[in-house]
A and B are shown apart, each in its own frame.
Chain A
Amino acid sequence: AQTVTQSQPEMSVQEAETVTLSCTYDTSESDYYLFWYKQPPSRQMILVIRQEAYKQQNATENRFSVNFQKAAKSFSLKISDSQLGDAAMYFCAYKQYGGSQGNLIFGKGTKLSVKP
């Protein structure tokens, strides 16, 4: 079975600095998707960034970028120029490509605090 591990329960970053959140996963599949979701204190979860496993290029969305290392099964999220609004729980998630496996497997989350 696939698993997703986030080894950092909590992280802290100074405003305007850069922080990297770690995620590793375990799968025997070659085609899959990886995601980072953000859950602000208001609790509604939103998608931050998505990576297709077949793409070698790391995904980027404005200040958010990932370091996808397929062989190492690692998928870290880098937040540049951190802002107070980035404070949230961040969840790494895995999804097998296609078939009937339409559901996501989530890690336990990393709570990010941003200090002014």
Chain B
Amino acid sequence: DAEITQSPRHKITETGRQVTLACHQTWNHNNMFWYRQDLGHGLRLIHYSYGVQDTNKGEVSDGYSVSRSNTEDLPLTLESAASSQTSVYFCASSRDTNTGELFFGEGSRLTVL
């Protein structure tokens, strides 16, 4: 079965370190998204991509970057981790931008000390 996987599922890092969260989907979806989930804020969009070599900033993109070199992967990089980036991160993909149905990964819990 096609799926979307995130790794690592849990990570603890220190302030200032670079961190990369991986997202891999096997649905061949063009559209991929990264959200962060914080208590009291719901899900907020960080970055998204509509295809290879396409990346766009979302609502809370400062301190994050993404790259899309193939259809299957959209890694999220924190160039210099900050305590404010402690959160649960969700990757999602969708086949069609019109219908908007997203398929989510299981999430990556990141703690920045």
A binding-site residues for B, Cβ under 8 Å: 6, 33, 35, 37, 42-47, 50, 91, 93, 95, 97-98, 100-109
Specify which of A37, A102, A107 is in contact with B48 (CB 8 Å cutoff): A102
B90 near A45 (CB under 8 angstroms)?
A: yes
The 6 closest A-B pairs by CB, nearest first: A102-B97, A95-B100, A108-B42, A45-B104, A106-B43, A106-B42
Q: How far is the CA of A109 from the CA of B90 in the complex (A)?
A: 15
Cβ-closest chain A residue relative to B44: A106
Question: Interface range on chain B: under 10, 10 to 19, 20 to 34, or 35 or more?
Answer: 20 to 34
Cβ-closest chain B residue relative to A108: B42
Q: How far is the CA of A97 from the CA of B100 in the complex (A)?
A: 9
A107 near B42 (CB under 8 angstroms)?
A: yes
Interface code B9-50, partner A: CB below 8 Å = 1, 0 otherwise? Answer: 000000000000000000000010101000011111100101
B binding-site residues for A, Cβ under 8 Å: 31, 33, 35, 40-45, 48, 50, 58, 88, 90, 92, 94, 97-102, 104-107
Q: How far is the CA of A102 from the CA of B92 in the complex (A)?
A: 12
Residues of B within 8 A of A35 (CB): 100-101
Residues of B within 8 A of A101 (CB): 97
A91 near B42 (CB under 8 angstroms)?
A: yes
